[in-house]
Amino acid sequence: MGKQERERQLKIYVASSWRNSRQQEVVQLLRDHGYQVYDFKNPMPGNHGFHWSEISPEWKNWGAAEFREALGHPVAEMGFALDMAALRECDVCVLVLPCGRSAHLEAGYALGAGKPTIILLSGRDEPELMYKMTPYICTSQEEVLSCLEQMRGCIPSSGRWTNGRAACGRSETPAPARQASNVEGLVETPEG
């Protein structure tokens, strides 16, 4: 791995909710620490993110068919394209709780693409078993920074991490996010 590759800024996708007051705080904190951060609330200069109300002021009253049709609206297409491009290009996804369906779909996409995904708990979260998909479960912004610092300089040339983990030659998960969760061999599969 070349020096330039090691020194490249990590690209971070912050997945969260429009209603989460911590989202902007986390975006700014990460930028202040030298990370390149995608902000879905301000994806480009002059663009303040996607809003269903741009398609129709009656969006909260839509039925299933109207919702499905609205997904094909040019405004929805543009918002989706911006978010997905940033998600595909990111090195790491940070899921900031509390959040809803879209943010969880984004985190699931990142995990499925082999990208390390950090979950920043809010302290009042309902337990979620499937968060075990990532070893990076943090309870503070400081823990998030610690995980990212350990990942900095370990960006694989392929852009794809091994099993969504950025061990960088280490055998352990970063200490703040460590979980006792090695399930390999614990699930029996039918032989056939």
Let me know the angle formed at the C-alpha of 23 by 76 and 14, rounded to the nearest 5 degrees. Answer: 65
Per-residue pLDDT reduced to its tens digit, 31-88: 999 999 999 998 888 888 899 999 999 999 999 999 999 999 999 999 999 999 999 9
Residue 43 CB neighbour total at 10 angstroms: 18
- Residue 14: CATH number of its domain: 3.40.50
26: pLDDT strictly greater than 90: yes
* Per-residue pLDDT, 45: 82
Residue 156 lies inside a defined structural domain of this protein: yes
Per-residue pLDDT reduced to its tens digit, 103-154: 999 999 999 999 999 999 998 888 999 999 999 999 999 999 999 998 876 7
Sequence letter at residue 97? L
Q: Which residues have CB under 8 Å from 177's CB, separation 6+?
A: 118, 135, 136, 137, 138, 143, 147
Residue 84 lies inside a defined structural domain of this protein: no
Strand partners, 44: 47
**Which residue bears the tokens 């983990």?**
165
User: Which one has a higher pLDDT value, 130 or 159?
Assistant: 130
Residue 81 lies inside a defined structural domain of this protein: no
131-149 burial by CB neighbour count: b if 16+ within 10 A, else e? beebbbbbeebebbbbbbe
Count structural domains, the chain.
Answer: 1
* Per-residue pLDDT, 184: 41
* Per-residue pLDDT, 85: 97
Per-residue pLDDT reduced to its tens digit, 95-104: 999 999 999 9
